[in-house]
Amino acid sequence: MKPHSLFMPLVPLYGVVTMLRNWFFDIGIFQSVDVGVPVISVGNITAGGTGKTPIVKSVAAILLESGKNVAIISRGYGRRTSGTVIVSNGKNILADVDSAGDEPLLLARQLRSVIVIVDEDRARGAKNAIEEFGANVIVLDDGFQHRYIKRTKDIVLIDAHHSPFETSLLPAGYRRELISSFKRVDAIVVTKAHDVNEALPLLEQRQFDSIVNKFSSSFRPTGISHLFGGVKQSLEMLENHTAIAFCGIARPKSFQQSLELCGVRVKQYYNFPDHHKFTHDNVEEVIRSFITHKADFIITTEKDAVRLKQFDTILTQLPIVVLTMDVVVHQAEQWKKYLLSGLSS
């Protein structure tokens, strides 16, 4: 259910419940578990669409490069399972999209040497990663509100184009926390900024004066690859060609903007809900549009790609490609230094 102004009367109740919950953690009525290794949480103060998965990937990749045995622990939003599911043991992928959720499976495919576990009890998932697979650092995916596990670093992401100061609390707006919750934040990353200058108005908010670690980042398309494998090709393959584009992400406009940067002429867009489970009817509608418009490509996102593998029989022979993206943190050296500091177990 999307936030709506009709729910405004419920906002005070949501605010009181959120305030009491955080207070109970602050005074020790609710307990946070220390899992015995450093924990880096990456989360949001608003619901959806900040570009969390690429930042989680960046964090895990930097830790992995430094020699850490990294585990990503996620709730696994949208999965059809409960309890602990090992998505990847750091060697092999052991789950599918239904049992893992799309974002954890995507991370497991992109970071083959990283352990990925989904569990609604994040502390239990972390302990499993440590005891069974020898993880010595945990990356907590979407962990800001999950205070039942202690963290070494608490990173919150803010969309450059959707300020948390310009939206109400749930369920009338997109904000999941009171503004006062920023006092718990160790670092902020403004995402989807074209450059540092675009991020400055947010980074310089007085509510962030006490936060020392401030970063900005951009998401940039890096190439295309066929949905069912093959050599990654340059973005020049898209330039001056036509395409049918579809996605099921929280902020579809960002996908559209990325395609515009690539110079592809999109004949029709299909925007499905975030984490949408595609049906045969959905796929056949996209194919019909592709044929009707005589387009050169069908194009989708990396996140959506993991939910399309089941349609291999009808898609394999089509020019359906995935737009690959990467995150660039503008303060690259400071970002790396920040992530690696103070990680002695």
What pLDDT is recorded for position 8?
94
Q: Tell me how crowded residue 219 is: count the other CB atoms within 10 A of its CB.
A: 18
Half-sphere exposure of 74 (CA within 13 A, CB side): 28
What pLDDT is recorded for position 2?
79
Q: Is 7 helix (H, G, I), strand (E, B) or coil?
A: helix
For the segment 224-235, the average pLDDT, to the nearest whole number, is: 90
Read off the tokens for 45: 């103060």
Sheet with strand 265-271: strands edge to edge: 85-89, 115-118, 70-74, 137-141, 39-44, 153-159, 187-191, 213-226, 320-329, 297-301, 242-247, 265-271
Please determine, looking at this structure, whether the domain spanning 220-326 carries the CATH number 3.40.50. yes
Residue 170 has pLDDT above 90, yes or no: yes
- Are residues 78 and 105 in contact, defined by beta-carbon separation less than 8 angstroms? no
What pLDDT is recorded for position 230?
75
Dihedral sign computed on CA atoms, order 65, 67, 69, 70:
negative
Question: Considering the chain, what is the average pLDDT of its residues?
Answer: 95
For the segment 102-125, the average pLDDT, to the nearest whole number, is: 97
Percent of the chain topping pLDDT 70: 99
Nearest to 322 by CA among 340, 306, 345: 306
What pLDDT is recorded for position 90?
97
CA distance linking residue 35 with residue 33, whole number of Å:
6
CA distance linking residue 260 with residue 238, whole number of Å:
10
* Burial status of residue 76 (CB atoms within 10 A of its CB: 0-12, 13-18, 19 or more): buried
What tens digit of pLDDT does each residue of 286-322 get? 999 999 999 999 999 999 999 998 999 999 999 999 9
Residue 22 has pLDDT above 90, yes or no: yes
What tens digit of pLDDT does each residue of 253-267 get? 999 999 999 999 999
For the segment 109-135, the average pLDDT, to the nearest whole number, is: 97
Residue 345 has pLDDT above 60, yes or no: no
CA distance linking residue 286 with residue 245, whole number of Å:
8
What pLDDT is recorded for position 287?
97
What pLDDT is recorded for position 188?
97
State if pTM tops 0.75. yes
Question: Which residue type does 104 have?
Answer: P
What pLDDT is recorded for position 231?
80
Please determine, looking at this structure, whether the domain spanning 36-219+328-340 carries the CATH number 3.40.50.170. no
CA distance linking residue 302 with residue 217, whole number of Å:
19
- Are residues 43 and 147 in contact, defined by beta-carbon separation less than 8 angstroms? no
Where does the chain hold its CATH 3.40.50.300 domain(s)? 36-219+328-340
What pLDDT is recorded for position 1?
65
